[in-house]
Structure 1
Amino acid sequence: MDSFSKKVRTFDAFPKIDSEHTVQSKRGGLSTLLTGFCALLILWVEVGGYLGGYVDHQFKIDDQVNTDMSINLDMLVAMPCEFLHTNVMDITDDRFLAAELLNFQGTDFILPEGFQINKHNDAHDTPDLDEIMQETLRAEFRVSGARIHEDAPACHIFGSIPVNQVSGDFRITGKGFGYRDRLIVPFQALNFSHVIKEFSYGDFYPFINNPLDFTGRTTEEKLQAFKYYSKVVPTMYERLGIEIDTNQYSLSEQHRVYKTDPRGRPQGVPGIYFHYDFEPVKLIISEKRIPFLQFVARLGTILGGIIILAGYLYRMSEKLIKILYGKKYAERDTEKKKGGLLDS
């Protein structure tokens, strides 16, 4: 049996260090503890990352043919409802009188606290997966086509409008401006100051923050035109088999004041314009997890790298101590194990 053990040791690919060549020291023990602590810390992080998964972002061509979608709106305009005209027109020359489905409620014009008024809107960040999963409570406006107190100083407009999924405009103008109407609003009554609580595309999720939400613009000009241009990107969020199909959009703005011609007529149509255009790509944000065997291989590679790196750093530190303080100082507090030839 002893001869067999000797033969096995002879063919050992990783021969062990004899006890007489090993040296114990406080610095070596400390480095071992630090290495073990770092290894446990990385092990804890990697296991947590594996269990929690990771968020993957991918773009793909939107191959779904969607003919229509909704514009969800909740805003306040500083004009009486009876003076306002709402209309949708797209590149197919299809017109839709949005007033048939929107709700008009007369009220007073106020600037709510917490709204960004007359500020540049740069809130174009994509909502993360956790935020969407927490805030996606689908809702619908309970009424449509209601008209209450239309002669009040301001008008609360809210509701959902079905539109064709092509480039188009949703417009809020004064009656008699841009469209024929029995009533022509006088210049002195025009005031397109407004605040927007909700403006989104697709299914109505009232708790998801969009670029136009909680914003507003005020003006003293009567022939003011506020123009918002949005690029709509279909977005799908996936987690644990749950899919939430929504839309997000980027925003740019252009505002101008029209002048009048020699006859006193405005050289443009004042109002509030929401221009929308749809991108041919779809963003998919999903939670994924790496395969288990890949995780084990990754974990072994990281832990092995830590051990090798710790050995290199320890040897470098020992050489540096010898250079700076001498060999005697470096060998202080070391304990050589018994078993060598000189021990006898």
Structure 2
Amino acid sequence: MDSFATKVRTFDAFPKVDSQHSVRSQRGGFSTLMTIFAGLLIVWIEIGGFLGGYVDRQFIVDDEIRSDLSINVDMLIAMPCEFLHTNVRDLTKDRYLAGETLNFEGMNFFIPENFNVNNVNDAHDTPDLEEVMRESMRAEFRLEGARVNEGRPACHVFGSIPVNHVKGEFHITAKGVGYSDRSHVPIEALNFTHLIQEFSYGEFYPFINNPLDATGKVTEENLQAYRYHTKVVPTVYQKLGLVIDTNQYSLTESHHVYPYDQQKKPMGIPGIFFRYDFEPIKLTISEKRIPFVQFVAKLGTILGGLLILAGYLYRLYDKLLSILYGKKYVEKNTEKKTGGLLDKKDENLL
């Protein structure tokens, strides 16, 4: 039993150079310290990365069948509410009077300081996972179909519109302009200057940023038409068992001022038009962590590579010093005073 324990203590899977054949130097000690420091730094970074996980983004085919969803709207239009006509029509030729669920509140028109007005909305980024988790507070509009102070100069339009899950368009126009209506708004009274506080699809998360949020357009033309073309992508955020199923969209926009024809009638329909289409894919953004065995193997591979690299760099450094200053400079202060073969021979003689 004692012999077995002795063999185990003396067993070395990685044989080292005998101390009597090794020479210590200041350069070697400094190289060892730098290698140990780099190794500890790598271990610290890798452990932090393992504990923190990583964000995985995957596009997959959207195999979920959805029959409907909601369009969430919160905007201010520089016309009285009694002038506005809201409608939804889609690919199935289905029409829905959005005014039945939207709320119309008359008020004065104003432009907040933080709004992006009359600029192209071309900076679209997918919200980060941490940002969405912080802002994922679901809400609903408490009112539906309310109409207050409709004669005021501007109209605050807000609410959720249920629509079919097919290509369609939600538009805001003036009564009697382009559509038959009992009332008719004079051309000179048209003004489709607008500010968009919220425009999103699906469940209403008021604090998640969307491309059209806090944007607006100001015009002095009566026959101005604004068109927003959106491509909607279902997006699922997952972290620590919490799942947020929402939608994001890409945006292209155009605007046009219609001229008059020979009968002094508009050659188009002015208004604000939101066209939407749905992509057949789904984006999944989730936080994942590599398996522990894989983490250990990765860490061992990196540290092994670091040791090999340190050895090559040390030899390269010695080679450069030998070329620049000569071999004697490199070997200076590295002679071993004791422990050589001659010392052992002298000890045997004594």
TM range (shorter): over 0.9
Distance between the aligned counterparts of 1:12 and 1:273, measured in 2?
Answer: 77
- 2:19 is aligned to 19
Q: CA, structure 1 residues 180+339, in 2 after alignment: closer, same or farther (shift >3 Å)?
A: same
Query: Aligned AA for 1:58?
Result: Q
Q: CA, structure 1 residues 183+16, in 2 after alignment: closer, same or farther (shift >3 Å)?
A: same
Distance between the aligned counterparts of 1:182 and 1:339, measured in 2?
Answer: 111
Distance between the aligned counterparts of 2:15 and 2:66, measured in 1?
Answer: 69
Q: Cα offset for 1:240?
A: 1.2
Q: Does structure 2 retain, via aligned residues, the 8 Å contact 1:77–1:109?
A: yes
Query: Aligned AA for 1:118?
Result: N
Per-residue deviation, residues 306-343 of structure 1 (Å, max 9, x unmatched): 00100010011011101101122212343526310234
- 1:166 is aligned to 166
Distance between the aligned counterparts of 1:18 and 1:60, measured in 2?
Answer: 59
Tell whether 2:326 aligns with 1:326: yes
Alignment of 1:59-138 (within 5 A): 59-138=59-138
- 1:277 is aligned to 277
Q: CA, structure 1 residues 328+91, in 2 after alignment: closer, same or farther (shift >3 Å)?
A: same
2:255 aligns to what SS in structure 1? strand
Distance between the aligned counterparts of 1:4 and 1:90, measured in 2?
Answer: 84
Q: Cα offset for 1:12?
A: 7.6
Distance between the aligned counterparts of 1:337 and 1:147, measured in 2?
Answer: 100
Q: CA, structure 1 residues 238+13, in 2 after alignment: closer, same or farther (shift >3 Å)?
A: closer
Distance between the aligned counterparts of 2:14 and 2:260, measured in 1?
Answer: 93
TM-score (normalizing by structure 2): 0.94
1:181 aligns to what SS in structure 2? coil
Q: CA, structure 1 residues 24+192, in 2 after alignment: closer, same or farther (shift >3 Å)?
A: same
Distance between the aligned counterparts of 1:85 and 1:337, measured in 2?
Answer: 100
Q: CA, structure 1 residues 139+4, in 2 after alignment: closer, same or farther (shift >3 Å)?
A: closer
Distance between the aligned counterparts of 1:4 and 1:340, measured in 2?
Answer: 32
Query: Aligned AA for 1:257?
Result: V
Count of matched residue pairs: 343
- 2:54 is aligned to 54
Query: Aligned AA for 1:225?
Result: A
Tell whether 2:242 aligns with 1:242: yes
Q: CA, structure 1 residues 62+47, in 2 after alignment: closer, same or farther (shift >3 Å)?
A: same
Alignment of 1:265-344 (within 5 A): 265-334=265-334, 336=336, 338-343=338-343, 344=346
1:70 aligns to what SS in structure 2? strand
Query: Aligned AA for 1:154?
Result: A
Distance between the aligned counterparts of 2:17 and 2:252, measured in 1?
Answer: 70
Q: CA, structure 1 residues 64+14, in 2 after alignment: closer, same or farther (shift >3 Å)?
A: closer
Q: Cα offset for 1:200?
A: 0.2
2:285 aligns to what SS in structure 1? strand
In structure 1, list runs of 5 or more residues that go unmatched. none
Q: Does structure 2 retain, via aligned residues, the 8 Å contact 1:25–1:335?
A: no
Distance between the aligned counterparts of 2:189 and 2:203, measured in 1?
Answer: 35
Distance between the aligned counterparts of 2:232 and 2:50, measured in 1?
Answer: 34
Q: CA, structure 1 residues 337+211, in 2 after alignment: closer, same or farther (shift >3 Å)?
A: farther
Q: CA RMSD in A?
A: 2.2
Q: Does structure 2 retain, via aligned residues, the 8 Å contact 1:23–1:337?
A: no
1:125 aligns to what SS in structure 2? coil
Q: Does structure 2 retain, via aligned residues, the 8 Å contact 1:129–1:285?
A: yes
Distance between the aligned counterparts of 1:13 and 1:84, measured in 2?
Answer: 84
Q: Does structure 2 retain, via aligned residues, the 8 Å contact 1:22–1:337?
A: no
Q: CA, structure 1 residues 278+120, in 2 after alignment: closer, same or farther (shift >3 Å)?
A: same
1:24 aligns to what SS in structure 2? coil
Q: CA, structure 1 residues 129+335, in 2 after alignment: closer, same or farther (shift >3 Å)?
A: farther
Distance between the aligned counterparts of 2:140 and 2:58, measured in 1?
Answer: 30
Query: Aligned AA for 1:217?
Result: K
Q: Cα offset for 1:89?
A: 0.5
- 2:29 is aligned to 29
Per-residue deviation, residues 13-58 of structure 1 (Å, max 9, x unmatched): 7543222221111111111111001100110111111111111111
- 1:218 is aligned to 218
In structure 2, list runs of 5 or more residues that go unmatched. none
- 2:43 is aligned to 43
Tell whether 2:247 aligns with 1:229: no
Distance between the aligned counterparts of 1:208 and 1:52, measured in 2?
Answer: 23
Tell whether 2:185 aligns with 1:185: yes
Distance between the aligned counterparts of 1:4 and 1:163, measured in 2?
Answer: 80
